[in-house]
């Protein structure tokens, strides 16, 4: 029994990061960005956020900002620390697990923010909520102090800035095109949500906003092809509390191309939502 190691959440993530983000190459690096954005997407799917800004700074720092409700900062009864710190340091602590705050959610089901925090050399959270601006800093997932009030706020939302840990990922280098493709998908899957990606080092910027949602996504996939009907077929339906959207458009090709998503996550291996 003495030889059995028991690792806490942070230690487990840093010891075996690939178990949580798939790899520690550039794909894993990008996964950190997506997991933070997924938190904002959850707010959008709940009707509480319509703008997300992701900025890659020249020094490799990623900053993700939304205009959602802001992560709560009150003391969480189960941990006796702030709800913000609980979300940022405890696996499976997100509101998406409670079944009340979010009916749908994407990402790693509550572990995303804490995993990104554990795999960052430093991370800062700013929350705009109840007319006040709050802040908390972390190093390699460890809080550097309590949540503090640093000013006033005229709006609401959350801003998370982090620097991926080079001890784990090596040299930090983000691929703008890969990030923009995924963020474009997220914007298509959440109609009327504006997602902006900026790369300050390369001086690149793209903004995605689609009123048509997945019908626009189908048009995008069929760009440059001769289509059999101009308007994609769109079928939305809710069954037992589950919302399903289907869009399709025939073209002159011989092969079919099918993309399926569950709560904004690309299910490349399909599943019951695809097969029925």
**Position 127 pLDDT exceeds 50:** yes
Please report which confidence band the pLDDT of residue 45 belongs to, taking 50, 70 and 90 as the band edges: confident
Three-state DSSP class for 166? helix
- Mean per-residue pLDDT, 255-276: 84
Q: Which of 106-110, 177-181, 222-226 has the lowest mean pLDDT?
A: 106-110
Pairing of strands 51-56, 194-199: parallel
Helix ranges (DSSP H) in 94-242: 112-118, 166-169, 176-189, 214-221
Please report which confidence band the pLDDT of residue 255 belongs to, taking 50, 70 and 90 as the band edges: confident
> What is the pLDDT, as a whole number, of residue 176?
97
pLDDT tens digits for 233-245? 999 999 888 889 9
- Mean per-residue pLDDT, 174-181: 97
Q: Cα(169)–Cα(118) distance, rounded to whole angstroms?
A: 13
Percent of the chain with pLDDT over 70: 90
Q: Cα(64)–Cα(113) distance, rounded to whole angstroms?
A: 12
**Position 19 pLDDT exceeds 70:** yes
- Mean per-residue pLDDT, 38-46: 90
> What is the pLDDT, as a whole number, of residue 110?
43
- Mean per-residue pLDDT, 103-126: 77
pLDDT tens digits for 75-113? 888 778 899 999 999 886 655 434 444 444 444 444 589
88 near 148, Cβ under 8 Å?
A: no
- Mean per-residue pLDDT, 43-67: 96
Over the chain, what is the mean pLDDT? 89
> What is the pLDDT, as a whole number, of residue 235?
95
Instruction: List, in order of start, the domains of the chain with CATH numbers.
Output: 9-208 (3.30.565.10), 214-275 (3.30.230.10)
- 142 vs 78 pLDDT, higher one: 142
């Amino acid at each position: 029994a003495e030889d059995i190691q028991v690792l806490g959440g942070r230690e487990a993530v840093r010891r075996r990061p690939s178990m949580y983000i798939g790899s520690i190459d550039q794909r894993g690096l990008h996964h950190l960005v997506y997991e933070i954005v997924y938190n904002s997407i959850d707010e959008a799917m709940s009707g509480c956020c319509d703008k997300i800004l992701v900025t890659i700074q020249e020094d490799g720092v990623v900053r993700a900002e939304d205009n959602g409700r802001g992560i709560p900062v009150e003391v969480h009864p189960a941990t006796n620390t702030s709800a913000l710190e609980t979300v940022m340091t405890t696996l499976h602590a997100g509101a998406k697990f409670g079944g009340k705050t979010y009916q749908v959610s994407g990402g790693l089901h509550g572990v995303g923010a804490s995993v990104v925090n554990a795999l960052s050399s430093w991370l800062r959270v700013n929350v705009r909520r109840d007319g006040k601006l709050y802040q908390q800093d972390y190093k390699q997932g460890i809080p550097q102090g309590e949540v503090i009030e640093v000013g006033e706020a005229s709006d609401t939302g959350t801003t998370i800035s982090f620097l991926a840990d080079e001890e784990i990922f090596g040299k930090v280098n983000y691929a703008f095109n890969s990030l923009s493709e995924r963020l474009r998908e997220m914007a298509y899957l959440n109609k009327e949500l504006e997602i902006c990606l900026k790369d300050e080092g390369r001086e690149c910027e793209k903004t995605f906003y689609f009123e048509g949602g997945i019908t626009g996504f189908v048009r995008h996939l069929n760009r440059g092809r001769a289509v059999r009907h101009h308007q994609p077929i769109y079928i939305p339906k809710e069954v037992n509390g589950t919302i399903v959207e289907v869009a399709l458009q025939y073209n002159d090709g011989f092969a079919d191309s099918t993309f399926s998503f569950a709560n904004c996550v690309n299910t490349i291996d399909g599943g019951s939502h695809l097969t029925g």
